[in-house]
Homo-oligomer: A and B are copies of this chain.
C-alpha cells in the first residue's frame, strides 16, 4: 500500500464561480459547502486510501503558500509535497512533471490523479472505484473513472465504453471513444446508450505513464528528462499547452474505464453549486446576510453586506465586497465571457479579492486613493513579513489587536494594542507576530505612489526576495 499515491491537480482560472472565485483565489481554495475548502475536502477524501506523505499537490506558484496553509490544517505531512508550477500549462505538463518526481522517488508508484475542486458525496463508492482502478493499473492500463450520469447535461465530456474487460458487480470496460461536451440532443442519446461522464480521474503506474509519455509526447518526455533547477522556468514555459485527455488518454491503446456512481459533481458553475446545497422551503440556497421575499429556486449568496430580494425566481445573486453577480440560474455556464469583458476594463476584479492571502496571513484593502491606501493587516501567530522597504510610500501602523514586534532600521520594539508607529519611506522595516493570537494592525500608506509593486524585500522566510 506504500506505493499507492495520489496527486491533486490544484489549478484553475477562477472565472466560473466569479465573483467569489478570482484568479488568485480559484474555487478549490474556497469554502463552498461547509467550513473546509474544496481542496481540504479533496485531501481528506484521498487520505482515506493513501497516507499523507504519499499525497502530492501540483499548483501554480501564486497559490503555493495558500495551498500549503490549507493542507497544513488537514494533512500536515502532505505540505512538503506541494509542487509549484511557474506557469499554468494545462493538465498534461502538470501531471507529467509531478509523476516524474514521484517516479524518481518510487519506481513502483501507482498514482491516482484527482481534481481539487470536485464534490464526491459517496466516499465508499469512490474509494471502491479507485481501488478497482488500481488493480487495472497493476495490469498496465491507463485507467479512468467514468461517472454514471444522474442528470441530462451538456456540461461534461462523455465516454463511450467498449469491450468489457472485467465482469461482476463492478465491471470495467475498454474506452471506445472520448466525446467532447455535446449538444443537448446528443447528450440525451449518449445517456440512453449507457455512456459515462469523463470524471478527469486517472489511475496508472508511474512507469507506464512515463512510457506512454515517451511514446505519444516524445518532445515533452525529452524536455522533462533534461529539466533541472537552472533551466526549470524556461523549460516549463516551453511545455505544450495540452490536456492529459487529448495528449495521452485519447491516444493510448491500453485504456480502461471503471464506471462509478458516487454523487459526483465538478462544481463547475453556480448552478451546480446550487444543486449541491441544502434548500429552504422555496427551494432557495441562502448564504450570509440575506433577506428574501417571494423569491424561489434561487441561489442567494452574500459574502459581505446585506442582500435583499423580492419577486425573483431562478436567479443567482452572489455578492462580494467589490463585485456582485446577478444572473439567470440556467445560464451560469456563460459567466466566463462576462468575466472576460470585466477583465478587459477592471483586471483586478478578475484577479484578486480585496482580501489578499499571503504566507504570513492576509491583508484587506479598505480604501484607496492616488496618494494613500488603507489596509487591515492580519499576521498569523508566529509569522513575520519580509524585511522590506518602499521608495514611494511611508506607512503608519496602529495595532488594534495582539502584539506587534517591529524592526525599524535594525532596532526592534514591541507595540501593544492602541500603540502606533511611523515608517518613513526608504526605512528598512519588518513586522512580526511573536504571540499566540492573530495580530491585527491598521496600516495607512501615504506617498506619491501606493502600488503593491513598490516593495524591495531583503530577507524573507518564504523565499520571496526575488519578486
Query: Which residues of A line the B interface, CB within 8 A?
Result: 18-19, 289, 291, 293-294, 302, 305-312, 315, 317, 319-328, 330-331, 334-335, 337-339, 341-342, 345-346, 349, 366-367, 369, 371-372, 374, 376, 394, 396, 398, 400-401, 417-418, 420, 422, 440, 442, 444, 446-447
Contacts and interface: CB of A to CB of B under 8 A. Distances in A.
B311 A331 contact: yes
Contact of A446 (B306, B325, B342, B398): B398
B293 A341 contact: yes
A135 B327 CA distance: 55
Q: Considering the complex of A and B, which 9 residue pairs feature the smallest CB-CB distances, nearest first?
A: A311-B328, A372-B400, A418-B446, A306-B323, A311-B331, A398-B444, A310-B327, A366-B366, A305-B322
A388 to B, nearest CB: 19
A411 B341 CA distance: 55
Nearest to A322: B305
A372 B418 CA distance: 9
Nearest to A331: B311
A342 B308 contact: yes
14 contacts: A305-B321, A305-B324, A309-B325, A309-B326, A310-B325, A310-B328, A310-B334, A366-B366, A367-B376, A371-B400, A372-B442, A400-B444, A420-B422, A442-B444
A291 B19 CA distance: 13
A311 B337 CA distance: 13
Contacts of A349: 306
Contacts of A289: 346
A298 to B, nearest CB: 9
B398 A396 contact: yes
Given A310-B335, A311-B327, 17 more contacts: A291-B338, A306-B324, A307-B324, A308-B324, A308-B326, A308-B327, A309-B326, A311-B330, A312-B328, A317-B324, A319-B324, A367-B442, A371-B401, A371-B417, A372-B442, A396-B398, A420-B444
Contacts of A330: 311
A440 B342 CA distance: 31
A442 B368 CA distance: 11
Contacts of A341: 291, 293
A312 B314 CA distance: 10
Contact of A342 (B19, B291, B320, B327): B291
Contacts of A319: 324
A393 to B, nearest CB: 9
A323 B346 contact: no
A286 to B, nearest CB: 13
Contacts of A325: 308-310
Contacts of A400: 369, 371-372, 444, 446
Nearest to A315: B326
A304 to B, nearest CB: 8
Contact of A310 (B294, B305, B324, B331): B331
B310 A317 contact: no
Contacts of A366: 366-367, 374
Contacts of A345: 291
Given A293-B341, A398-B396, A420-B396, A327 B309 contact: yes
A291 B330 CA distance: 19
Given A291-B338, A341-B293, A374-B442, A317 B308 contact: no
Contacts of A337: 293
A302 B324 CA distance: 9
B326 A317 contact: yes
A243 B197 CA distance: 68
Nearest to A344: B291
A214 B317 CA distance: 55
A417 B446 contact: yes
A401 B367 CA distance: 14
